[in-house]
Amino acid sequence: MSRNPPIPPLNALKAFRSVGRHLGFSMAAEELHVTPAAISQQIKNLEAILGVVLFHRNGRETQLTEAGQVLLPGIEKGFNELENAVRVCRAHGDSSYISCNTVGAFAARWLVPRLPNWTERHPKVDVRISTTSEWVTFDRQDIDLAVRLSTGQEDGLQTEFLQVEKIVPLCSPSILGQDPPLRKPEDLINHQLIHFAPTGGRINTRWADWLKLTEIDSVDPNRGIFLSNGMAALNAAIAGQGIVLAPKTLASDDLERGTLVVPFEIELPTDFAWYVIAPSENMERPEIRAFKEWLIAEAKMNDKASSRTALLS
């Protein structure tokens, strides 16, 4: 009876995966925290076990052979499934916390202020918030779910709609009655514009594009205060330093408290909304499903509060 040949050592397969991904022995060595010589030896051992050549090396260039091209996708898939299985296993062993990633402004101005409501309902499940403007790679980061601006279509990931986004002008109510006042878009010529460009790059907050919608050419869209992030821009608006064009969701609590108002209901169009995003296997975990449902419920409450604010204004 013939036996199936043994699977090569995982370290050799890991070295092959890394070299194949980077097409470089030095970069693979850096990724795996070993020397290039160690990587080279692992590849030689793997080639001896398989009886094939996996890479062509010509000076500094490294290319996969035909056999290497056949092997790499399966190895990549296998390691991804292995890493996912280990992550899910760990989650079942220690499900006392959820790791959530989002952008800094959303965390500071929307999510974190609402976390006490979660803790009150789920005191035994902590939430660990991390922020970054870069897209999450769930297979390589210890992240359970993310909240991001999205179209709702993300390859290989499950998305759950959270809240619409509107890009609107925002300012302190004290500005409305100043002399000169702010009653119509043309009045912006007498007031300072506040600019910021979201680092995530998924929404447009350019005053030039908003002013095109109003067909006003008397206001210079390139003047005013330029700030590097949304939180600073909103704080400047709250302080009465000018009018900012920003996502309405980030100012929802300020609008409800009356520290910010929308002087003109002219929205800059966007195809993006806020979504909860995660691999489907993560969404199946009870604590993550509960957190997702809590986020959606909070967003619905926020929408109702925004509607009441609009009626009262």
One digit per residue, the tens of pLDDT, for the chain of length 313 reads 445 677 888 999 999 999 998 999 988 888 888 898 999 999 999 999 999 999 998 877 899 999 999 999 999 888 888 877 776 666 555 557 899 999 888 999 999 999 999 999 999 899 999 998 888 888 777 899 999 999 999 988 999 999 999 999 999 999 998 889 899 999 999 999 999 887 655 789 999 999 999 988 899 999 999 998 888 999 999 999 999 999 999 999 999 999 999 999 899 999 899 999 999 999 988 999 999 999 999 999 876 666 555 544 5
- Beta-carbon contacts of 118 under 8 Å, excluding residues fewer than 6 positions away, are 127, 291, 294
Query: Radius of gyration of the chain from Cα atoms?
Result: 26
Residue at which a domain ends, from 43, 72, 91: 91
How far apart CA 235 and CA 260 sit, in angstroms, is 10
Q: Can you give the residue range of the structural domain that contains 247?
A: 167-257
Same domain as 185, residue 253: yes
Same domain as 207, residue 278: no
CATH number, domain with residue 223: 3.40.190.10
Q: What is the pTM of this model?
A: 0.67
Same domain as 182, residue 251: yes
pLDDT of residue 1: 40
Point out which residues pair with 122 in neighbouring strands: none
Contact 110, 139 (CB under 8 A): no
The answer to whether position 305 is within a domain reads yes
3-state DSSP assignment of residue 104:
helix
The answer to whether position 308 is within a domain reads yes
Backbone phi, psi, residue 106, to 5°: -65, -40
Q: Which residue has the tokens 């449902």?
A: 293
- End-to-end CA distance of the chain, in Å? 83
